[in-house]
Structures are given as C-alpha cells and as structure tokens.
A and B are shown apart, each in its own frame.
Chain A
C-alpha cells in the first residue's frame, strides 16, 4: 500500500494535475460563454445589446428601457431556461462521471442503477393514467404532477435496486449491475404495457418526453432541482477522493482508509437525486452523461479530482449550447434537445477517438 501512497503524494511522471486545472479554467470560461449564448439566442431576436441594457437597467439605473415583451422574453423565458439548463446539464454530466467511476466501467451511466428506467416508467404512468386512474393526484399536483412522479420513480427504483444488491452490509457492484438488468427489463415491460394502453395523444407526449426538452422552464423548476445538484457538488471532494481510490478495487480502497460502503451508498444516493431531478424536469436527455466525462478523460486523464467538476461544467455547457440550437434551428417551433446533444456529441466524440488512433477507448 505504501506504493499507492507514494504515487499519490509525489509529483510523478504522468501527473496531469496542471492539465486538469487548466481544463477546469477553460471549461469555466466555456460555461460563461454558453450562458451568454443561451441568454441571447432565440426566435424573438432579443440579443446581446438587449441583455446588456437589461442588466444595466436592473443593476445600475433601476428602470428598464426594454419593451414589455423583450423583458418577458429575458426574465420569464430565457433566464429560467438558462438556470435550468445549467443545473440539469451539471447534474447529468456529474452523474455520468460518478457512475463510470463507481462501476469502473467507461460505459456506465445512471441507467445502470435504475434512475432513468424508474423515472421513465413513472413519467409514462403519469402521462397515460393521469387523466383516468391518477386523476385525483394529477388535479392535486397540477403542473408538478409529472416531474414529481418521475423523481419518485427514479428514487424508488434505485432504492429497490440498492436493497437487492446489498447483502450483510456489503454492496456488490456486480450484483447491482445484474439486478439492474432484470429490474430494467421489468420496468420496460410495465412501460410497454402502459404504452399499449395509451391513446394517440399520450403516445405523442411520451415520445416528446423521452427526447427531452428545457421548454417550459420556470424559476420554480430550477429552484426545486437546485438542492439535489448543489448537494452533489458539495460532496465532490469526498466523492473524488473515494472514487480515485476505488480504481484499485474495493479491498485496496478500503485499506487506504476509504469508507467503501459509505462511498457507494452516497454515490448512488447522489446520482439518484441529481440525475433523477434532472430527468424529472427535462425528460431523459441522452448522451450528456457519457460524452462529457469521456472527452474529459481523453484530455486530462482519469483523476476524479478534476474529472467530476469538469464533467459538471462541461455537461452544463453542452446542454446550454444544445438548447440554444434546439430553440433557434426550427423556430418558431422547437426541436427536442436530446436530438441535438447526440448530433453534436457523437461526431465530436468519434473524431477525438479517431484522432488518437482508437487508443482513447482503452485508456
């Protein structure tokens, strides 16, 4: 074990922490740019000049020179949408990176611990059964019905999986993966049954939900998911140290003083909260959780100290940029954002892999 500690403490050959710090700085700058683009692009043509005069109005002079409509576009449409995109993107990127670290598998995503399948089942149930069986619940919760259902579905499904995979205080990641596959098949079957029962309108709603969107963003939505994302960010130092140690295996990490079981429990809980909340308000947005951590690993290596915050920054940037495109390219209509994240992400990813002669896959 002394070897591992030596490596951790001495700046050895292959130390990429300088690269990591640089990448974080660049990603922060990218995120600021993405926020600006998100705030200044859209079908109404409210642009940078309007944003500047809005900021000057609200911060300096105290009275607005913008027209009422432009004010509404900025305050009621774009600002909540940018905030929501920031949170959802950070949540998705971070969750993906954590799952890959926890399972020591570069293809892992929050779907493995049942977050997306549970949220999907509950969301589809909300759409299909909302006007009939679940009507009292729907009328009581109003517009929050679907997001709350999806979030509850994500938590329940993940909790169930975790219980199944835990024997005598030990959680086996292999058992988690395997029971995840069978529970996933069950939720798929239940979702399929609901789809069979659905009418055409519900089918169409399901399709759009499954492609994701930041449309209909409100401050309420952003506020309600913020605690889950912020909690995940606050736990980053603890998680990063633990996940770095976990690379060596459960036993080695334990001997390095990492509370392995607690780490697993907290990781799963954080992912269920952050990813579940993201999926609940924005639908299932594919690919952000896979592509962003991978790109980062290619650039700065596998150290979670930089990877986790980088994935949060990168995920937020990617989602904001994708959303800016989604709402302008088919204006005045909107494309589902899942299409854009995959359309941007996949080719960039492929190019990087090809550029490294395919070695990136094995790193």
Chain B
C-alpha cells in the first residue's frame, strides 16, 4: 500500500487541494517567505513525500536527510532512514524528535494540526505546493533547491528535466497516427480487474507516453465488470512491478474477459517500477520514453 499516494491523480483535485493547503498553511506563510529570502543551508532535513525525497537525493543532499515518510522508497537507501509515518498522518512530536532544521513536505501532507505545531516550533517548514505532475517537475525541483540552499544545482537539474520532457514531446510527435489503447491494471482480486480510469496518475502517464487510456469512461481506480473490460478492448496491458503479489502476464491473459482482447493476441504486457512510472519526479521523461518505446517498438524511439 505504499503506492497509494502515487496512484492518485496529479491534476484532479488540484484546486481543492490548493485551497486546503492555503488554509492548512495560512499560519506558515510568513515562515515560507522568510525562508525563500535567506536561503540558508539545511543540514538535518525531514523529507515528506516520495518525489521530494527523490529530488533531494538528485540534488546531492541525501546525506542531510535525517528522516523520511513512508512514501519515500526511492532511492533504496532512503527507505533505511528513520520513518515518520504516512505523509497525511504525521506526528508532530515524532518529527521534532529528529531535531531537524528543515521540514520539507509534499502537497497534501498533514494533518494541519500537526503542521501548525511544527510551525510554532520555529523550525523551517516548507511545503512544495505544486502537486506531482509532468508540468510541475521543474518548478518543484527549483523550490526544493531554494529551500536547501542549492539553487544552481537545482537550476541545472530542473533545466535537464524540462529539456527531457520537451525532447520527449518532439520525439513522440512522429508516432503512428493509430494510438495504442492501454489499460493500466492495478490489481486482480477474485478474477476482477482494478484498472485506472481518468484523473489518475496512470492515465496522465499513458497520455504522456503518446497512448490512449482504454478506459475513457471511468474515473479513478475502480473494479471493472467483465463487459466493461471487453468493451475497452486494450491493445496493451500496463502494470507495476512492485508489491508482494505483482500482476503477472499469464494471470491477466487467462481472464475470460481479456482473452479475446487485442492485447492477449499480441501478448502485449508491460510492467514497470511504480515510483518510476507514477511518481512524476525527475525521472518522469525517462519513464514516459521507456513506456513509449515499449508501446511502439516499431517507431524506434531513443
């Protein structure tokens, strides 16, 4: 279940979440402004949010992290740090016990009461308000760089991430007009497929890789009826490597509802790492490129 925070849509509830964030952080705004002005170096960072942690490591600040939250599991050494729990259920005292000089939180961290106590403590608390999405990668990297006093490194990394995305767009412009219909399978329980509809991170990634979500009608992650699966007629099945019981190609294509699909005929099955595929961190362009090259092997992307 560590994946769940990655699975929600990057853009769906952006506005409400911003409003919520505004209220939750109304108290903290002065702290944030002050922090952005002075840009002191931070040496004991508590990092909350998988992509925040990933970006910190990319900026070469991994050794300054004293604790992470339970959604931070990339790079693997991040998961060995003390864990302050799930990002939406933070404990103020647990974080204070790490004696941090900077607390970095991803959009949606909470609860607001715990954050208010942390703000009161005088420790710098900076929220990266942009929700994880391809378009916000650069902005998030720059915000984190400013928070830890590594502005030039962050500029370089953000520039590279933005360039990668622009280059990906240019390369994908030459894809065949016939877009692949991709079904993202989260899990199979009791022979029923749980698949990604619109407004999910998986949907955003499928579209970024130049394909179409086979489930244009449903929203969120929902168990599908067999008839909906047949009607979706996916060309490719996409899933994640991670988890105790990963979805396997033979199990997917053994399902009667999928046996007649184009994907089953071609044995078209793609499995990728969860945070890489759905994290919308600095590796987003690489993940989308890899996905596109596996969806369209004949187009020779690279």
Docked pose: A139 CA to B22 CA in angstroms: 10
Chain A residue with the shortest CB-CB distance to B96 = A44
Residue A332 is within 8 A (CB to CB) of chain B in the complex: yes
Min CB–CB distance A96 → chain B (angstroms): 26
Residue B122 is within 8 A (CB to CB) of chain A in the complex: yes
Residue A259 is within 8 A (CB to CB) of chain B in the complex: no
Contact B23–A333 (Cβ < 8 Å): no
A203: which B residues are within 8 A, CB to CB?
4
Interface residues as binary, A33-50 with B (CB distance below 8 Å gives 1, 0 otherwise): 000000000111100000
Residue B120 is within 8 A (CB to CB) of chain A in the complex: yes
Min CB–CB distance A257 → chain B (angstroms): 48
B13: which A residues are within 8 A, CB to CB?
131-132
Interface residues as binary, A61-100 with B (CB distance below 8 Å gives 1, 0 otherwise): 0000000110011001110000000000000000000000
Contact B16–A42 (Cβ < 8 Å): no
Interface residues as binary, B58-94 with A (CB distance below 8 Å gives 1, 0 otherwise): 0000000001001000000000001111101101111
Residue among B17, B113, B121 making CB contact with A218, cutoff 8 Å? B113
Residue B108 is within 8 A (CB to CB) of chain A in the complex: yes
Interface residues as binary, A198-210 with B (CB distance below 8 Å gives 1, 0 otherwise): 0111011100100
Min CB–CB distance A323 → chain B (angstroms): 11
Docked pose: A69 CA to B117 CA in angstroms: 11
**Number of contacts between A and B (CB, 8 Å)?**
123
Contact B221–A332 (Cβ < 8 Å): no
B82: which A residues are within 8 A, CB to CB?
332
B4: which A residues are within 8 A, CB to CB?
200-201, 203-204
Min CB–CB distance A161 → chain B (angstroms): 31
Min CB–CB distance A242 → chain B (angstroms): 38
A131: which B residues are within 8 A, CB to CB?
13, 16-17, 20
Chain B residue with the shortest CB-CB distance to A208 = B89
Contact B120–A45 (Cβ < 8 Å): no
Contact B86–A332 (Cβ < 8 Å): no
Q: Number of A residues contacting the other chain (C-beta, 8 Å)?
A: 39
Contact B108–A201 (Cβ < 8 Å): yes
Residue A215 is within 8 A (CB to CB) of chain B in the complex: yes
Contact B122–A333 (Cβ < 8 Å): no
* A201-B88 contact given A72-B121, A131-B20, CB 8 Å threshold: yes
Residue A213 is within 8 A (CB to CB) of chain B in the complex: yes
A199: which B residues are within 8 A, CB to CB?
7-9, 12, 220-221
Residue A330 is within 8 A (CB to CB) of chain B in the complex: yes
Residue A327 is within 8 A (CB to CB) of chain B in the complex: yes
Contact A332–B98 (Cβ < 8 Å): yes
Residue among B9, B19, B85, B120 making CB contact with A76, cutoff 8 Å? B120
Residue A59 is within 8 A (CB to CB) of chain B in the complex: no
Residue A138 is within 8 A (CB to CB) of chain B in the complex: yes
Docked pose: A332 CA to B86 CA in angstroms: 11
Residue B243 is within 8 A (CB to CB) of chain A in the complex: no
Interface residues as binary, A10-52 with B (CB distance below 8 Å gives 1, 0 otherwise): 0000000000000000000000000000000011110000000
Residue among A68, A196, A208, A327 making CB contact with B93, cutoff 8 Å? A327
* A332-B112 contact given A76-B117, A132-B13, A135-B19, CB 8 Å threshold: no
Most chain B C-beta atoms within 10 Å of own C-beta, residue among A196, A203, A333, A334: A333
- A sample of 25 cross-chain residue pairs with beta-carbon separation below 8 angstroms, ordered by A number, consists of A42-B93, A68-B121, A69-B96, A72-B96, A72-B120, A72-B121, A76-B92, A76-B117, A77-B92, A78-B93, A139-B20, A142-B112, A143-B113, A200-B220, A201-B88, A204-B1, A204-B4, A216-B92, A216-B113, A327-B94, A332-B83, A332-B91, A332-B95, A332-B97, A334-B91
Q: Which 4 A-B pairs have the closest CB atoms?
A: A333-B85, A332-B94, A216-B113, A131-B16
Further 13 A-B residue pairs, CB within 8 A, beyond A76-B120, A331-B94? A42-B97, A72-B120, A73-B93, A77-B93, A77-B117, A143-B112, A199-B221, A201-B8, A213-B89, A217-B113, A327-B91, A332-B97, A333-B83
